[in-house]
C-alpha cells in the first residue's frame, strides 16, 4: 500500500485543482437539476390537472377504436311481423353483398332463426315470441310477445334492460339489441372486408383459385375487356376501400414534399451565400436575410398551409407552397451557418491565385459544403413527407385530407388503419433511402 505524504498531497492538489476544489455548481449541479425536474413535473401535474384528466378519460374507446382497425362487422336486422314471420334485412352497403346467405345464420324447423355470434358459445335464437341469448355459459330468454321486452329470470351483468329495449354486450364478438318487433345483431369479424374486390365486382366472393383461373385462362367476363384488365379496374375502383383515390392522394403527398423541399433548397442556396458573414461582408444584408429566414421558419408549416388554402383554395399547390416557405427559412439558416463554419484556407489559397469569385466559390467552398447541404436537404425532405400528411388535413391535399375525412366519420377506422399503414411504409422507405444517401455522401458506413 502506497502512503502519500503531506507535500505530495499538496503537489497533487496544486496540479489538479478542478478535482479537489470543485465549485458549488460542480458539486451540487446534478442534484439541483434533478430537484428542478421533479418540481417541474409536479407543477405540470397540477397545471394540467392530470389526475382528473385520467379519471375522466374514455379509456374504453381505445379498445373499441383499435378493434375497429383490424375488424369489421355485419349487422343483420330481424323484423318480427304481426303474423309471426321473421324478415331478415341487411344494411344497404353490407359487406356480404346484395344477396347474402351466411353460414353462421341457420333457419330452424320451428321457424326460429339461430345466429352464431362466436361459435357455439355465443348465439342468438330469434322466434316470434322470444329471443334467447346464450353467452358466458348461460342462456337468457327475453320475452317479446308483450308490450315491452322482458328478461325471464335474473339479468346477467353483460345485459342491460331499458324501457323498450334490452342490450346484450357480447364483447369483441358483437352485441344484440332486442325490442318487441325487431332484433338487431352486430357480429364482428377479424380482417378487412372486401379489401380486394367490392360487392359490385364480378370477382366478388369467389375463391382465390377461381379468380386466378379466370384471370389466366378463363372466358372473358366482359367481351370488350380482358379479365386481367377488369380485375385491375375492380381493385383500383373498389368503392369501399377506394384504392385508386388513396394511392393517388399518397402520390400527391410525396410530390408535395419533394416539390416544396426542392424549391425551398433552390431558393435558400443563393440566399445563404448572401447571409453568411464570411462570404458576403455586408452586415446589414446578412442580418436582413437571417431575420427573413427566422420569420419563414417561425411560422409553422400548418399555419402557412392555412394561409395558402385561403388564397389558392384547397389542393396540393397550397401544400407545396407551405413546405416551400418553411424550407426556405429552415434550409437558409442551415446553409448559411454551414458556410460560416467552413475552413477558409482552401478559399484563400484559390483567391490568392487571382481567380474570379465564381471560381473561388466553386473550388474553395463547394467541395466542403455540398455533402453537408445535400445531407441536410435529404433529411428535410424525409421529414416533409410526414409534414405533408399533417398539412393535408387542413385542406392542402394529399392523403392527409383523405385520412381526416375517414376519421371524421368515426365509423371507417379500418380505412384509417389502411392509410396509416401506407404512410408508415412510405416514411420507412424514405427514411431508409435518405439515411443511405446521407451516409454515402458523408463517407460514413451504416450499421
Structure-block grid coordinates of residue 348: 484563400
Cα–Cα–Cα angle for 442, 444, 445, rounded to 5 degrees: 145
Q: Residue 121 corresponds to which cell in the numbers above?
A: 358459445
> 72 has which bridge partners?
189
Q: What is the pLDDT of residue 83?
A: 79
pTM over 0.75: yes
Q: pLDDT tens for residues 84-131?
A: 788 999 888 888 888 788 889 999 988 899 999 988 889 999 998 899
User: How far apart are the two ends of the chain, measured CA to CA in Å?
Assistant: 46
The band of 347, judged by pLDDT with boundaries at 50, 70 and 90, is confident
Are 406 and 415 within 8 A, CB to CB?
Answer: yes
Cα gap 302→425, rounded to integer Å: 23
pLDDT (tens digit per residue) in 50-97 = 898 888 888 877 877 888 888 998 999 999 887 778 899 988 888 888
SS (H, E, C) the chain: CCCCCHHHHHHHHHHCHHHHCCCHHHHHHHHHHHHHHHHHHHHHHHHCCHHHHHHHCCCHHHHHHHHHHCEEEECCEEEECCCCCEEEECCCCCCCCCCCCCCCEEECCCCCEEEEEECCCEEEEECCCEEEEEECCEEEEEECCCCCCEECCCCCCCEEECCCCEEEECHHHEEEEECCCEEEEEEEEECCCCCCCCCCCCCCCCCHHHHHHHHHHCCCCECCECHHHHHHHHHHCCCCCCHHHHHHHHHHHHHHHHHHHHHHHHHHHHHHHHHCCCCCCCHHHHHHHHHHHHHHHHCCHHHHHHHHHHHHCCCHHHHHHHHHHHHHHHHHHHHHHHHHCCCHHHHHHHHHCCCCHHHHHHHHHHHHHHHHHHHHHHHHHHHHHHHHHHHHHHHHCCHHHHHHHHHHCCCCHHHHHHHHHHHHHHHHHHHHHHHHHHHHHHCCCCC
pLDDT of residue 261: 93
Q: Can you give the pLDDT at residue 10?
A: 67
Task: Answer whether residue 374 shows pLDDT above 80.
Answer: yes
In the numeric block, which cell numbers belong to residue 193? 372486408
Cβ-Cβ contacts under 8 Å for 414 (sequence gap 6 or more): 68, 69, 70, 71, 72, 192, 193
Dig out the grid coordinates for 296 from the structure.
419563414
Which three three-digit cell numbers place residue 370? 455540398
Q: Grid coordinates standing for 131? A: 329471443
The pLDDT value recorded for residue 18 is 62
Q: Encode pLDDT of 304-327 as tens digits.
A: 998 888 888 888 888 899 999 999
Report residue 6: phi and psi, to 5°: -65, -40
Domain spans of the chain, in order of start: 73-190, 196-231, 243-442
The reported pLDDT for the residue numbered 405 is 84
Mean per-residue pLDDT of the chain: 86
Cell numbers 399555419 correspond to what residue?
303
Nearest-CA neighbor of 373 among 431, 438, 291, 328? 438
Lowest mean pLDDT among 16-25, 213-222, 250-259, 408-417: 16-25
Percent of the chain whose predicted confidence (pLDDT) is above 70: 93
- In angstroms, the CA 362 to CA 358 distance is 6
Q: Which residue has the higher pLDDT, 140 or 357?
A: 140
| Residue 260 near residue 319, CB atoms below 8 Å | yes
pLDDT average, residue stretch 168-175: 89
353 compared with 210, residue with greater pLDDT? 210
Structure confidence at residue 12 (pLDDT)? 66
pLDDT reported for residue 2: 58
CATH no., domain 243-442? 1.10.3720.10
Q: pLDDT grade, residue 271 (50/70/90)?
A: very high
What Cα–Cα distance (Å) separates residue 179 from each residue in 79, 118, 165, 445? Answer: 10, 22, 5, 68
Mean pLDDT of 7-12: 68
Amino acid at each position: 500500500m502506497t502512503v502519500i505524504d503531506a507535500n505530495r498531497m499538496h503537489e497533487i492538489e496544486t496540479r489538479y485543482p478542478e478535482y479537489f476544489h470543485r465549485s458549488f455548481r460542480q458539486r451540487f449541479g446534478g442534484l439541483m437539476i434533478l430537484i428542478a425536474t421533479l418540481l417541474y413535473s409536479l407543477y405540470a401535474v397540477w397545471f394540467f390537472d392530470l389526475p382528473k384528466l385520467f379519471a375522466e378519460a374514455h379509456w374504453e374507446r381505445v379498445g373499441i377504436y383499435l378493434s375497429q382497425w383490424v375488424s369489421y362487422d355485419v349487422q343483420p336486422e330481424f323484423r318480427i311481423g304481426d303474423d309471426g314471420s321473421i324478415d331478415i334485412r341487411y344494411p344497404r352497403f353490407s359487406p356480404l353483398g346484395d344477396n347474402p346467405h351466411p353460414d353462421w345464420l341457420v333457419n330452424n324447423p320451428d321457424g326460429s332463426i339461430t345466429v352464431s355470434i362466436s361459435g357455439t358459445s355465443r348465439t342468438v335464437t330469434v322466434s316470434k315470441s322470444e329471443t334467447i341469448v346464450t353467452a358466458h355459459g348461460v342462456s337468457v330468454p327475453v320475452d317479446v310477445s308483450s308490450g315491452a321486452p322482458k328478461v325471464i329470470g335474473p339479468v346477467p351483468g353483460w345485459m342491460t334492460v331499458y324501457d323498450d329495449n334490452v342490450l346484450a354486450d357480447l364483447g369483441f364478438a358483437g352485441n344484440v339489441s332486442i325490442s318487441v318487433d325487431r332484433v338487431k345483431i352486430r357480429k364482428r369479424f377479424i380482417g378487412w372486408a372486401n379489401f380486394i374486390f367490392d360487392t359490385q365486382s364480378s370477382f366478388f366472393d369467389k375463391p382465390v383459385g377461381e379468380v386466378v383461373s379466370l384471370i389466366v385462362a378463363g372466358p372473358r367476363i366482359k367481351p370488350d375487356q380482358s379479365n386481367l384488365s377488369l380485375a385491375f379496374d375492380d381493385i383500383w375502383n373498389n368503392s369501399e376501400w377506394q384504392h385508386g383515390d388513396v394511392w393517388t392522394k399518397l402520390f400527391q403527398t410525396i410530390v408535395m414534399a419533394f416539390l416544396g423541399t426542392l424549391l425551398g433548397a433552390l431558393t435558400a442556396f443563393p440566399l445563404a451565400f448572401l447571409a453568411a458573414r464570411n462570404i458576403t461582408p455586408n452586415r446589414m444584408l446578412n442580418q436582413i436575410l437571417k431575420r427573413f429566414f427566422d420569420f419563414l421558419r417561425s411560422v409553422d408549416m400548418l399555419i402557412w398551409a392555412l394561409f395558402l388554402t385561403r388564397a389558392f383554395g384547397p389542393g396540393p399547390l397550397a401544400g407545396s407552397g407551405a413546405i416551400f416557405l418553411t424550407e426556405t427559412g429552415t434550409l437558409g439558416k442551415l446553409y448559411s451557418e454551414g458556410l460560416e463554419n467552413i475552413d477558409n484556407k482552401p478559399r484563400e489559397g484559390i483567391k490568392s491565385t487571382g481567380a474570379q469569385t465564381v471560381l473561388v466559390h466553386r473550388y474553395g467552398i463547394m467541395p466542403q459544403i455540398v455533402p453537408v447541404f445535400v445531407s441536410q436537404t435529404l433529411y428535410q425532405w424525409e421529414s416533409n413527407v410526414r409534414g405533408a400528411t399533417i398539412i393535408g388535413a387542413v385542406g392542402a391535399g394529399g392523403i392527409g385530407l383523405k385520412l381526416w375525412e375517414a376519421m371524421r366519420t368515426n365509423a371507417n377506422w379500418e380505412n384509417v388503419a389502411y392509410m396509416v399503414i401506407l404512410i408508415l411504409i412510405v416514411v420507412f422507405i424514405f427514411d431508409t433511402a435518405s439515411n443511405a444517401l446521407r451516409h454515402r455522401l458523408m463517407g460514413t458506413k451504416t450499421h
